[in-house]
Structure formats: C-alpha cells, structure tokens
Chains A and B, each alone.
Chain A
Amino acid sequence: MLIKLEYKISGGDFTRAGHASSEVKKNLKQLGVDPLIIRRVVVSMYEAEVNIVAHAYNGHIKVEIESHRIRIVLADKGPGIPDIEMAMREGYTTASQQVREMGFGAGMGLPNIKKNSDILNITSIVNEGTTVEIINNLQ
C-alpha cells in the first residue's frame, strides 16, 4: 500500500493552517491506524505545518503513507534556522508579536514535533529555507 498526498502552504495564511494535518488524520482514521499513533502524527505534522505559516514565505508538504509507516516531508522557502540546536530548546522562539498574540510561538512547536516523531530530520539553509522530515511507525 502506498498513499501519496501533497499540499501547498502559503506563509502567513493562518486561516488554512491545519488543513493538511486534518486531511492526513482522516486518511489514517480510514485506514484503521491506532488512535494513539494518529495523535502523535497529527501533533507533529500540525506543528510543522504551522511553522511554515508562521515563519516561511511558502512551502509544500509531501506525505507518503505505507502500511508500516508514514513519512511527511515539509519543505519551505524562508529565512531558515541559523541554529537548529537552539531552536529545539523549549521556550526559544523567533515568532513575531502578532503570531504570539494568537497563542502560537511559545517555543513549544519543535519540542512537540520531537516528542511526537519516531524519526525527525531537520535541515536548513539561512535565507533559503528549511526541510523537516517526520517519520512515524504505524504498527
């Protein structure tokens, strides 16, 4: 089995944030995946999706669902992350005041992604963009 899904994300468009994650959740539910695993996938994917909206100019998400695992690659064009280790620290944020007033940007996104992924790879080039790969086992 292989299901491929793709989504385009516009930077700054919070009204659509979570749409892709919601679609993936529906797919996993239909496939009868363990709800605890679905919750992990949803948390990590949503946070990564919101990071594109909050920080990048635009991005795209590629999702591959196989019977044993789900692989989500979120690639954006944006400012990039100068220090990934620092960004992974709980409470560290570079979010704008506007984003923080919405209740985002508390420096919890990347730690949430890490906690809810079996494999997490982040690569980033400053002034070019960031790619986040999240893999979760489905069995």
Chain B
Amino acid sequence: MKKIVTEKVQKMKTSELIQKLNLRVFNSNQISDAEITGGYTSDLLSDVMGNAAPGQAWLTLQTHKNVAAIASLKDLSAIVLVNNNTPENDMLEAAENEGIAVLGSQLPAFELSAAIYNALQV
C-alpha cells in the first residue's frame, strides 16, 4: 500500500505548491525552493521525529520554535501551518536561518492534507 502511494506521488517545487494552493508565505527573506516529496500531518513532535521522511512538507498547528528545529533535523521541505495559525517570532527566525519555508493556510488539517495530496498526484 505504502509503495503504491509513493509511486503515485509527484515531486513539486515549494513555489508551485504555494501558487497552486494559494498558501501564505511567512518568510521575509527568500525561501529555498525545495522539492516537496510528500506530506506529513501531525501535531505530536515525537511522531514527526520518528515517522516523517526527508523532503515532506509538515502540516501542523504547532507554532513554536521546536517545530523549526525538528523540520531542520529531519530535512523536511516546508512547514505548513493549518487553520490560520501564525508562527511565533522565534520559530520563524529559526526556520529562516535554516532556509525552511514557513507557509500557512486557512484550511483545517484534514482539508489541507487532502489538497496537498491531490496537488502532488500525477
């Protein structure tokens, strides 16, 4: 099952995803246009630490600095805040230092996960 999903998923540049889903960009400096290879939706940091894969976009409602640390340690492509959440200043600063895009959407986690999943399909 997992293998089939992986094969169907297409890579997409962060900039393409921003445009396609009309995502808000919180970064003030230029973001690295990393390739997004999938997504992982979770608000438990150890779950992301243990189970997210490099290149995935992380969908979460957590807005504190540790989110940026984990995204960097796990080589995630972008942080996408759901439900109109906005990053705390030190989180945004840490993400900017690591060149990680911090994006946002008004959609709740379920809808945004579906939208990103569909956008990544061939």
Interface residues of A (CB under 8 A from B): 14-15, 17-19, 21-22, 25, 35, 39, 42-43, 46-47, 50, 102-104, 106, 108-109, 111-112, 115-116
Say yes or no: is B12 at the interface (Cβ < 8 Å to chain A).
no
Say yes or no: is B43 at the interface (Cβ < 8 Å to chain A).
yes
Assess A47 versus B46: contact at CB under 8 Å? Given A17-B66, A18-B66: yes
Chain B: number of interface residues, binned into ranges: 10 to 19
CB-CB under 8 A from B90, the residues of chain A are: 15
Say yes or no: is B49 at the interface (Cβ < 8 Å to chain A).
yes
Dominant secondary structure of chain B at its interface with chain A: helix
Dominant secondary structure of chain A at its interface with chain B: helix
**A-B CB contacts (within 8 Å), total count:** 63
* Contact across chains for A103 and B62 when beta carbons are under 8 A apart: yes
Interface residues of B (CB under 8 A from A): 43-47, 49-50, 54, 60, 62, 64-66, 69-70, 72-74, 90
- The listed residue with most A CB atoms (<10 A of its CB), out of B54, B64, B69, is B69
Assess A42 versus B65: contact at CB under 8 Å? Given A102-B45, A103-B44: no
- What is the minimal beta-carbon distance from A48 to any residue of chain B, in angstroms? 11
- What is the minimal beta-carbon distance from A94 to any residue of chain B, in angstroms? 14
- What is the minimal beta-carbon distance from A63 to any residue of chain B, in angstroms? 15
CA A106 to CA B49, docked complex, whole Å: 12
- What is the minimal beta-carbon distance from A103 to any residue of chain B, in angstroms? 4
